[in-house]
Chain A
Amino acid sequence: MYAYDEIDRTLVNERVSEFRDQVQRRLSGELTEDEFKMLRLQNGVYLQLHAYMFRVAIPYGTLASNQLRQLAHVARKYDRGYGHFTTRQNIQFNWIKLSDLPDALADLAEVGIHAMQTSGNNMRNVTSDQWAGVAPGEIEDPRIWSELIRQHTTLHPEFSFLPRKFKIAITASDHDRAAIKVHDIGLRLIKNEKGETGFEVLVGGGLGRTPFIGKTIKHFVHGRDLLSYIEAILRVYNQYGRRDNIYKARIKILVHELGIEKFSREVEEEWQHIRNSSLQIDDEVIEDIRSRFIYPAYEKLPHMPDELRQAAADPDFEAWRKNSVAAHKNPGYSIVTISLKPIGAPPGDATAEQMDALADLADKYSFGEIRVGHEQNLALPHVAKRDLPALWKALDKLGLATPNVNLITDIIACPGLDYCSLANARSIPIAQELTRRFANHELANLIGRLHINISGCINACGHHHVGHIGILGVEKNGEEVYQITIGGRADESAALGNLIGPGVKFDEVADVIEDIVEAYLALRERPEELFVDTVKRLGVEPFKERVYATR
């Protein structure tokens, strides 16, 4: 994990005191709500249906155990004892009081956590692969570069009032766990023929009401030029991005309207002016950031210890291990994903007690480190294989060992109408009902990898376009209606799902999903063919026929 130095700490503290002053001016009436709105949004504070919602950044998804404990403390002291992990490596608290916010931020600042730019029309929290630094075959740890970008984008004097929000994601593995193709800028870390680090740069991806898959704007930008190239993209966007219509203000619309060729020419021209400026990064700067990332001192351990061999006799343990434990770059260790999707519960929620207990488990079994993924699950990234049985027992007691990672009940959902003032329809109750329908682990396993994504409005916070099955709630004549798409995906082969047919009512959604799954089980060529591959092979039609035949 990255350890703040005095410089980082000073900045975060200065930001807290600025926000304290802003809240004070709002409470005294010196600031109007309109003026304050932008200021609070720059610091992750939304006004929701029932209360203020507070979104805290977990840059590139890396948390230290003391940071997780502090999040638990905030949940307990200022909220209702739980937090909600989002699809962009943030955590949200839904019931916080405005007057408490400065203190909550000050508490978080003590452990190097902030909420800067987790909302508003600025550069948002930089996200990355939750397995960064531990995934086998990774080119190098993308978090070094993520941290460089995090610093560069924090309180940027030119780009804090963009036409619209701006999201950057970065990956360094073949398998893209960071969804870079649906970000405003997606960065794929690669090496050139000289072995130097650089990036394939994608631009203009995004979901929302007009979804686009990002396009490659440059095949290789050298690491030393990364900041100047990003700055060039931002400068073109800041000047030419549309500001007349909020729904057309994202960079994806500018790229679409200009065309990628013209857009990239504009960026190239701008970049030539600034690439040899003080934005150029030398190796020493990268080394300095790298030196403040703390890496575990791994032991040389067997990849098949006795503890694991013995535990294999327990079918519950085996079910969990096969589902939630992934290979680590060091053969004596594993990456353990912790499902925050227990049957019947809102996806992504964790209680303060669970967070505290997980922090303890991270200290005991994972060198004090926890990761947060965009699928709204957590991970312990450095677990010795001999410790897996003990860890599983402890997680099971906490209700955190549901073996459903990547299965049909591992649902991504936005908060929906239960919390959100933008939503048109409920999301969480749909997710809860679906987890109950597919609660049988053998059935879920038989179905295999299948991602369901649910959004309660067209803003697509639940990323429904890229769900293998996407569910979008809309409002029609005062009723909640759900549009269902199939065949989307968010990984390196990112694609948008296709509509399967007319929208259905709230009560019918789970039935329709069951029908889709039944159709898949009948249509797949062999058990290994994933749902999304069957859809790719056959298209929407055969599914549509089966689902709507009886409706």
Chain B
Amino acid sequence: MPLVNGGKIADDSFVKLAVDTPLPEDGDILVPAERFLGEADALLKRAGKIGVIWPNNRDIAELVPYLGKLATVALVFPSFRDGRAYSQARLLRERYGYRGDLRATGQVLRDQFVFMLRAGFESFEVKKQADAEAFMQTAKRYSVFYQPTGDGRITALHRRMQLRHSEGVGT
């Protein structure tokens, strides 16, 4: 499953650990939420980056005390029909000020990229190679956005206000 990071297909430096996989000495690891919360102190002392895989039915606020120490948070789309992780992503970015990497995992398909980018995701475990290759093209598909989110894209309403004010100059 190709990883898209920073808009390009990239190597994944993280190794995913199951609940009972022995902890490797070093290297970057992605740990399930349950295990992370249970062993947080030990895990955070280790060499190598650490990320957590957070299920979409668990309150994301539980992760807040650790956000500054995490290299990545991986949110889960068990099916592309299940949109809970969009809310979790926006909360992490916009309410809890998380600035690290935010990764979309699970059934991640081309037609969700724009929504995910707008919700604050930066990296993507894409299901299909062709979708991963089409990432940049797909991300540019829209130039108009009606809703304000934390991604900083200017909304239609604000663009209209700017137009009104610039037209107002000199009248």
Q: Residues of A with Cβ closer than 8 Å to B?
A: 5, 7-8, 10-11, 14, 17-18, 22, 30, 35, 38-39, 121, 151-152, 154-162, 235, 238-239, 243, 273, 277-279, 281, 284-285, 288
Which residue of chain A has the shortest Cβ distance to B137 in the bound complex? A21
CB of A339, distance to nearest CB on chain B (Å): 36
Cβ of B157 within 8 Å of any chain A Cβ, yes or no, is yes
B30 on the interface (CB 8 Å rule)? no
The answer to the question of B144 belonging to the interface, with a C-beta cut-off of 8 Å to chain A, is yes
Q: Give the number of chain B interface residues (Cβ < 8 Å).
A: 33
Distance in angstroms between the alpha carbons of A367 and B134 in the assembled complex: 47
Could you pull out 16 A-B pairs where Cβ atoms are within 8 angstroms?
A: A7-B144, A7-B160, A10-B143, A18-B141, A22-B111, A35-B80, A38-B81, A151-B146, A157-B114, A158-B90, A158-B115, A162-B83, A235-B87, A281-B157, A284-B161, A288-B161
Which residues of chain A are within 8 angstroms of B159 by Cβ–Cβ distance? 7
Q: Which residues of B contact A5 (CB under 8 A)?
A: 160
Give residues of chain B (68-109) contacting chain A, Cβ–Cβ below 8 Å: 80-84, 86-87, 90, 95, 109
Contact partners of A162 in chain B: CB under 8 A: 83
- If A161-B81, A161-B83 touch, whether A279 touches B148 (CB-CB below 8 Å) is yes
Contacts of A273 in B (CB 8 A): 95
Q: In B128-171, which residues have CB < 8 Å from any A CB?
A: 130, 141-149, 155-157, 159-161, 164
Is chain A's binding surface mostly helix, strand, loop or mixed? helix
Question: Are B84 and A7 closer than 8 Å at their CB atoms?
Answer: no
Residues of chain B within 8 A of A288, CB atoms compared: 157, 160-161, 164
Q: How far is the CB of A315 from chain B (nearest CB, A)?
A: 52
How far is B161's CA from A161's CA once the two chains are assembled, in angstroms? 30
Chain B residues with CB below 8 A from A159, complex form: 83, 86
In the complex, how many angstroms separate the beta carbon of A31 from the nearest chain B beta carbon? 9
Cβ-based interface call for B119 (8 A): yes
The answer to whether B161 and A238 touch across the interface, beta carbons within 8 angstroms, is: no
Return chain B residues, CB-CB under 8 Å to A277: 148
A7 contacts B147, C-beta separation under 8 Å: no
Chain B hits for A154, CB < 8 A: 146
Contacts of A238 in B (CB 8 A): 83-84, 86-87
- Minimum CB–CB distance from A30 to chain B (whole Å) comes to 7
Expressed in whole angstroms, the minimum distance between the Cβ of A340 and any Cβ of chain B is: 32
Residues from chain A with a CB closer than 8 A to the CB of B130 are: 30
Tell me the smallest distance from the CB of A180 to a CB of chain B, in Å: 23
Question: Which one of A7, A10, A158, A284 lies within 8 Å of B86 (CB-CB)?
Answer: A158
Q: Within the assembled complex, what's the spacing in Å between the Cα atoms of A39 and B157?
A: 27
Whole-angstrom distance between the Cβ of B108 and the nearest chain A Cβ: 12
Contacts known (A158-B149, A279-B148); A14 close to B86, Cβ less than 8 A? no
- Asked whether, in the complex, the Cβ of B111 is within 8 Å of the Cβ of A39, the reply is yes
- 17 more CB-based (< 8 A) A-B contacts, given A39-B111, A158-B149: A7-B160, A11-B144, A18-B142, A35-B80, A121-B81, A155-B114, A155-B146, A157-B86, A157-B118, A158-B86, A158-B87, A160-B83, A161-B80, A277-B148, A278-B155, A279-B148, A288-B164
